[in-house]
A and B are shown apart, each in its own frame.
Chain A
Amino acid sequence: MELADSAVKKALSAGATEAEAYVQRINNVSVTFQDKIENIRTVESTGIGLSVAVGKKTAVYSTSILDEKEIDEAAKKAVKIAKVASEDSRWKHFNKQFGKTSVEGCYDKKLENPDYKEITETLISAVSCMKAFDKRVRPTRSFLFTALENVSVGNSYRESIERKATEVAVYLTTKVEEAGMNSTGAEHQQARTWKEIKFDDLATKAAEKAVKYLKAKVIPSTKMPVIIRNQIFANLLGIFLSGPINADWVQKGRSPMTGKLGKQVASQNVELIDDGTMPGGFSTRPFDDEGHPTQRTPIIEKGVLKNYLYDTYTALQDNVESTGNATKSIGYWTRPQPTPSNLVLKPEKTSLEEIVQQTEKGLYVEQTIGEWLSNPVSGNLNATVTHGFLIENGRETQPVNGVIIAANFHELLMSGIQMIGNDPRSSMGLGAGATVYSPTIKLAELTIAGK
């Protein structure tokens, strides 16, 4: 019997009325490197999250040790905790809709047994591209990460189902120092297969960036249009929409999108879809973390809000079907929450170069920090620009850093999106949870706090 199924059985015999088990086995290889390889780490990480219900009382117990004795103990502890919990009057039951959607491009056999020789040679080649671009560029600490993930989910209604996936991610950093001035350049890419990662290109871009921003400075406080690079706008979309379109937020009255289904929440040119089945998408999978099949769910069509994202618990509150978005984004030891899968903003036809050329005065924002300090409830956006360029008469003139950009994101979505680029890329960040794909965006006037 599969481990997930035997764990469910143990929980039922310990006194649970329902149980659900999530078993995860991950093999990671991570490499730290600079101009040479620093170290190689290989990790076998295992864990089981056992959720139980005793009537309408629930609890989760988890452990990283996957042996029978430990799981016996886990089942008893979970039930013991659930018995002292207070009743959740909204509790109905665990997921009863199991199944797999067919997905493509999410598994690379090559990553089952990573070839250390090939990996180290590829990374050293990438690092040499940095120096080849400009000899002032120093490679700083960089990372490569590969993962082979195996998950099975089962509960007291259904036998467990299993999924396998691979991931690879690289994060490259560089630095240039000259005449007391400092500049950094970083590039990042994540994918499901080894061959998708363009190591040498990324390295050259990171070096290019460090050189380009060498003379960056703080500019005086002002207001002007802002062009936000694809990956950074993807981060912003994730920050401002993943909570508000989550049915749990809506049901608790925390979401600014509450009561807005069928209403205009963005300008007509905004098309946003949550696509759990996108070929090769970083958050693509055949079923979600409670075994429900994934799907494509339109979120915004022509600026109109179409759907919220559901897991089983929230779907049962609204008497609808789950959208297959149950995700344990923190880890196997938590209950899943509705979370976007691949949240995709539809690109248009204008290139970044054309957007810059068509800007009389503005700020191009290539990299920021602290954008996650923004408030998705009020919509107040703020981010500190570490890599930006002043644009005057269609040209980049002065590199900028250390200024804060601020606006209300929900208002920007409604009336501030002036241009949508043709260059979608995914948001930064490793690990589980939502991935957002966005092109570069030109926004109407934002406040810029500087000198």
Chain B
Amino acid sequence: MQRILNKATALGASYADTRYQRFDDEQITVENKELKSYSARRLSGIGIRTVVNGGVGYASTSDFSQDRLAATLRNAVKAARSVKGQKHAFAETKIKKATVKSPRKIDPDDVPPEEKVSLVLDANKTAWVDTNVKTCLTRLGLTKDSRLFMSTEGARVEVETTLVGLAHSTVAKVNGVMENVNDIGESRCAGFEFIKSQDWNSYTAGVSRLAVEAAGSGTPPPGTYTVVVGPLILGLVLHEAFGHASEGDIVASGESVLQNKLGEKLASDDVTIIDEGIVEGGYFYPFDDEGTEKEKTVIVENGVLKNFLQSRNTAHEIGVKTTGNARAQDFDNLPIVRQTNYYLQPRDATFEEMIEEVDFGIYVRGKGGGGGEVEPGLGTFTFGVGPSKVIRKGELAETVKGVVISGSILETLKTVDAAGKDLKIITSVFGGCGKDGQRATVGFGGPHVRVRKMIVGGR
């Protein structure tokens, strides 16, 4: 890789970096007590970013022969030369040399395939809690992501992250009505010891019971409600509707609803939002894909917008420091500004206090929800949530299903009037966040919060 960097300089690049990656992914799926699929995948290659006359060019390949690497470098330089009229420059960053690994006791590769299969089979079998359960799907995911970053500035950062997890979904049918609870399960940046330490049998049974309960319940009438929001769905909404709008590239392009709003009070006093590289339960992200150390970034403090997330390029354009948020899905992609672990800081309310003061509303829960989508330019968001509870005269009442919440993020955050003292941050080996055609594994979460105005629809 050092040879490529030297050659890039010789070809006229004012800056170049290379990213080598090897990604191993194993997925085991059990459907209805039978192994449905066992697939393993290796992705490996190298990407080269060059800056020539202020233009950025990128090229990548999976072919490590000297010829192809040289051709890939030439492609990157040619692409950079074709970008006319730009003055791409990178804000300064601390040049690091480091090798870091996420905590791991047992390498998933060292566990025999039959042991993995039998664990997933067992978890699936215990999910058949009663005759209302119609379909059960259990998945085990094991990934290992090794990346080496080097630049003409002398950086050399090597990070290896192992992420493992199990997820389950159950379809239940009660009185002819089908309901699917598809849960993202539990994942951790750890080795196979995490998988061994969990009681997956009671986990999958819990998902099934929720599906049965939901199948037998109704949908709330559409309208605007007071809602108490659980950590999972809160984290998702924050990530999608506020987090993306706080990404420096979206801000710099003028697309973000947060543009020109630094220093403004955008949310109630209870809202403090953080993006942090290493947190309990989240995704392990000590360095970004430009070799910058990812530290704790305060986005919103007591309702006031403080910072945006930056890469070296967006930081340069805005005239600030990079926050270590330049991330690439893999060696095929250029790093773009992404969140790492984005969460709402807890406060002092208890869950009971938040519920007590609601005359009529909904306790919105994320488990089994369907994800969501945001129009970033407008801040309009919509999310499918899991089986939830009606709140009536300060108490949790019947279960409701098929709930969709929607709103405009800047208005919604102003109506947050309580945040809990609990904190849960999660990540997932099965999914990730999509932006510009790239996926990234992220962490998200927060405490329970109460929101006074949320549009609720049925699905």
Contacts and interface: CB of A to CB of B under 8 A. Distances in A.
B312 to A, nearest CB: 13
A85 B371 CA distance: 32
A194 B236 CA distance: 38
Nearest to A83: B113
B406 interface: yes
B222 A41 contact: no
Given A32-B436, A38-B56, A140-B377, A64 B43 contact: yes
Most chain A CB inside 10 Å of its own CB: which residue of B83, B372, B408: B83
Contacts of B406: 370, 384, 402, 404, 449
A379 to B, nearest CB: 10
Nearest to A253: B134
B380 A175 contact: no
A402 B113 contact: no
B180 interface: yes
Interface in A27-69: 30, 32, 34, 36-47, 58-66
B117 A449 contact: no
Contacts, number: 244
Given A46-B62, A221-B223, A370-B372, A402 B408 contact: yes
A184 B376 CA distance: 9
Interface in A346-402: 369-370, 372-375, 377-378, 380-384, 386, 401-402
B372 A44 contact: no
25 contacts: A36-B86, A38-B56, A39-B57, A40-B58, A40-B83, A42-B59, A42-B60, A42-B79, A43-B332, A45-B60, A45-B332, A60-B37, A62-B42, A63-B43, A80-B113, A120-B82, A145-B437, A175-B254, A218-B455, A252-B135, A375-B402, A382-B457, A384-B373, A402-B455, A451-B224
B207 interface: no
Nearest to A448: B222
Interface of A: 30, 32, 34, 36-47, 58-66, 70, 77, 80-82, 84-86, 88, 116-117, 120, 138, 140-141, 143, 145, 173, 175, 177, 182-184, 218, 221, 252-254, 333-335, 369-370, 372-375, 377-378, 380-384, 386, 401-404, 406, 430, 447, 449-451
Contacts of B79: 39-42, 116
Given A59-B39, A141-B253, A370 B373 contact: yes
Contacts of B407: 402
Interface stretch (B70-78, B296-304, B319-327, B358-366): B70-78
Most chain B CB inside 10 Å of its own CB: which residue of A45, A47, A138: A45
Given A63-B41, A373-B372, A40 B57 contact: yes
B373 A372 contact: yes
A26 B72 CA distance: 14
Contacts of A334: 39
Most chain A CB inside 10 Å of its own CB: which residue of B34, B63, B254, B381: B254
Nearest to A380: B459
A401 B378 contact: yes
A41 B333 contact: yes
B458 A386 contact: no
Contact of A64 (B62, B76, B171, B371): B62
A406 B456 CA distance: 11
A449 B86 contact: no
Contact of A66 (B62, B178, B332, B379): B62
Contact of A77 (B40, B78, B117): B40
B75 A406 contact: no
A371 B80 CA distance: 38
Contacts of B37: 58-60, 335
